[in-house]
Amino acid sequence: MITKIILDENELPKKWYNIQADFKTPLDPPRHPQTRELVVPADLEPIFPKELIKQEMSQERYIDIPEEVRDILTLWRPSPLFRAHRLEKLLKTPAKIYYKYEGVSPPGSHKPNTAIAQAYYNMKEGIERIATETGAGQWGSSLAFATQLFGMECKVYMVRGSYDQKPYRKMMMQTWGATCVPSPSPDTNSGRAILAKDPDTPGSLGIAISEAVEDAATHDNTNYSLGSVLNHVCLHQTIIGQEAQKQLDMVDDKADIVIASAGGGSNLAGLCFPFVKDKIDGKNPDLEILAVEPAACPSLTRGMYAYDYGDVAGLTPLLKMFTLGHDFIPPSIHAGGLRYHGMAPLVSKLHADKLIDSTSVYQNEVFDAAVMFARAEGIIPAPEAAHAIRVAINKALECKKTGEAKTILFNNSGHGHFDLSSYEGYFAGSLVDYEYPAELIKESLKKLPVLS
C-alpha cells in the first residue's frame, strides 16, 4: 500500500504547459487601462521583463524551463503526491483520495514555483529590484526567497491588516533580505491618497497591487511581479499538474475529480491545466475539475465575466475575467490568499467554456475539514488549501453514498504553520461565516468599465 508517490529529481518537468495553445477560441486580450486599446508588449515593458511578456502572449504549447530555474526548483521538487489512506478510512469512503503537497517548499506553498522563474527572467534582463504586493504573506515571502537567490532587492507592500497580524511572514521576508512595508503606505501616490481619505484602513490586495505597480513604474531598474492571475504565472505553476500526472501513472490510476482552491487562480491553474488538456484532447472527457472559492469572495461562482481592472486604482490593464468588481474589498476571512476580486483570465475562460466548474464554501466548514484532515493525515493545511480539502471530503462522502470508487485528486497548496491563530479562532468558535450577497449586489456591479 503506497502512501508517498515520489518522482526522481531528473523527472522534474523540463517544460511548462501553456494552455492557450489548446483553446478553441483565443483568449480575450488585455486592454490598456486608459485608452482601452489592445495592450501591446511595449505597454508592459516598463514593469515586466521581455521574456515574461513573451510568455504572457505566447501561443506555444510547451515552453522550456531554464536549467538555472530547474536547478533551484530541485531544492524541494518534485513535490510528493500522497495517497490519503487514513482520511479515506476515517470517511469510510470507497473513493481514492490523492493530494499533491506543495507545503514542502522553503516558503511553505506553491508560490515559489513562479517566484523563482520571475526573479530569474528579471535578473537576466539586468533588473536589480522588484516591487510586489502580498496579502497573507505567502507570495511576498516566496518572492523574497527567490530574489535573494539572484542577488536582487525586493520591496513588498503587505496588506496592512496582515502586516499587523502576521509578524512571522514579515520576518521571513526580512530573513530573505526583502523590505516589507504595510500597505497603504506613504511611499506611493496611490497609498498616500488612500491614507488621506481613510487613515485607519486595513488595506486590501487591490490597494497593495496599485502601490507595487506604481513603485515599479516610477523607480529605475525596478520591475513589478505578480504572484497570481497573469498568464505567465499560471504557466509556471503547471509543473504541479504535470508531476501529478506522472505520479498517478506510477500507481496506474487516473483522476475522476481534480480539485483546487481558487483566489487569483494560479494554484488551480498549476494542478488543473495539464488535466484540462486531457479533457480537451478526449483522453479523459468525463473528468470533473472544480475550483473552490470562499463564500465571502466567490468571483467564479457568483461574479460577472467582464473586463475589469486588476487593482483598486485602475492602474493595471483591463482583463477579461470573472470579477466581483475591482472596488470590492473582500471581508476578513482567514484564507487571505483567496481574497481577490477577480480571477485569472485563463481560468475564467475555461470556466466560461464549461471546462472547469466552481463551488464556494464557508469558513467554518473549511476549518472543520482542515482539522479532520490534520488529525487523519498529520499535515496542518493552510486555510487556502483547506478549501480544496473541504470539497474533496464532500466528494468522497458522496462516493460513500453512491458506492462509487472515484479517484479524487486535490492540491494541498501549503502548510498552515503561520495560520495557527486562525485555528485558535476556529477552536474558540469565533470564526464568522461571511458570504457575498450576490442577489442584492447584481444591481450595483454597474461600476465595471464598459467596453464597446
Partner 1 sequence: MIKIGFIVNPYAGMGGKVGLKGTDGCVKEAILLGAVRGSPAKASRFLSAITRKDIHFFTAGGEMGEEELSSAGFSYTCLYNPPPPLPGGDRFTTAEDTISACREFTKNDCDLIIFCGGDGTARDVFTCTGEDMLILGIPAGVKIYSGVFATTPESAARLLSSWDGISSTYGEIMDVDEEKYRKGELDTRLFGYAKVPSSKVLCQSSKQVSYGDDSRATKEIASFITEIMRDDTLYLLGAGTTTGAVAESLGISHTILGVDAIFQGRVVGKDLNEERILELVKDYDKVKIILSPIGAQGFILGRGNQQISQKVLDKTGTDALIVIATEAKLKGTTCLYIDTGSPEMNERFGDSIQVICGYRMAIRAKLAH
Q: Which is nearer to partner 1, 77 or 302 (CB)?
A: 302
- Cβ 96 vs Cβ 222: under 8 Å: no
Verify binding: residue 135, partner 1, rule CB under 8 A.
yes
Verify binding: residue 433, partner 1, rule CB under 8 A.
yes
- Range in contact with partner 1 (rule: CB under 8 A) among 53-61, 116-124, 132-140, 266-274: 132-140
What order of strands is seen across the sheet that includes strand 96-101? 4-5, 81-83, 96-101, 407-412, 257-261, 288-294, 357-361
Number of residues that bind partner 1 (CB under 8 A): 46
Q: Which is nearer to partner 1, 82 or 426 (CB)?
A: 426
- Cβ 112 vs Cβ 105: under 8 Å: yes
- Range in contact with partner 1 (rule: CB under 8 A) among 35-43, 259-267, 351-359, 435-443: 435-443
- Range in contact with partner 1 (rule: CB under 8 A) among 65-73, 161-169, 173-181, 309-317: 161-169
Compute the least distance from the CB of residue 124 to partner 1, in Å. Answer: 33
What are the DSSP calls for 36-85, one per residue?
-PBP-HHHHTTTS-HHHHHHHH---SEEEPPHHHHHHHTTTPSPPEEE-H
Q: Which residues contact 102 (CB under 8 A, 6 or more apart)?
A: 79, 109, 110, 113, 240, 267, 411, 412, 413, 414
One residue of 304, 332, 368, 449 binding partner 1 per CB under 8 A: 332
Q: Which is nearer to partner 1, 441 or 448 (CB)?
A: 441
Verify binding: residue 228, partner 1, rule CB under 8 A.
no
Verify binding: residue 324, partner 1, rule CB under 8 A.
yes
Verify binding: residue 58, partner 1, rule CB under 8 A.
no
- Cβ 248 vs Cβ 254: under 8 Å: yes
- Range in contact with partner 1 (rule: CB under 8 A) among 111-119, 196-204, 246-254, 257-265: 196-204
3-state SS assignment for residue 287: coil
C-alpha neighbours within 13 Å on the C-beta side of residue 91: 29
- Cβ 62 vs Cβ 55: under 8 Å: no
Query: Residues interacting with partner 1, by CB under 8 A?
Result: 135-137, 159, 161-162, 164-166, 200, 202, 204, 295-296, 324-325, 328-337, 339, 362, 383, 419, 421-422, 424-425, 430-437, 440-441, 443-444
